[in-house]
Amino acid sequence: MTNGDKVDSEKNDEMLERYKAAVERALPRVPVKNGVVEIDSVWVETSLPYDLLEAILRRDDLKLPPNVERIHLRTRAEQGEPGAPGKRRRKREVRN
């Protein structure tokens, strides 16, 4: 490992720690249903990318509020390719 790689790794770790702290601060503000928090709710509160947010929520050292038992990591949001045309309903023709 070169000196540059070591510095980059330390910066990555420091950045992840800051994101983890931000998620920990946001968790008390998200809705909790039966002790479960949805990843979508955390995403709305933090606006972090899903892959980064999922990596942070999977960490063992994440401190959860007392009313949160677990975090549901499966999203309910529709995932699509960027720039792909949206699904549109077909208009019905009016018949006379």
Share of the chain above pLDDT 70, in %: 83
Q: For residue 44, give the DSSP letter.
A: H
* 43-85 pLDDT, tens digit each: 999 999 989 999 999 999 999 999 999 999 988 776 656 666 6
% of the chain with per-residue pLDDT over 90? 58
- Cα 96 to Cα 75: distance, rounded to the nearest angstrom: 45
Q: What is the mean pLDDT of the chain?
A: 85
Q: Are the beta carbons of 57 and 21 closer than 8 angstroms?
A: no
Asked if residues 40 and 77 have their Cβ atoms less than 8 Å apart, the reply is yes
Q: Is the pTM of this model over 0.85?
A: no
Angle at 81 between CA 77 and CA 83, to 5 degrees: 115
Task: Tell me: pLDDT of 3 over 90.
Answer: no
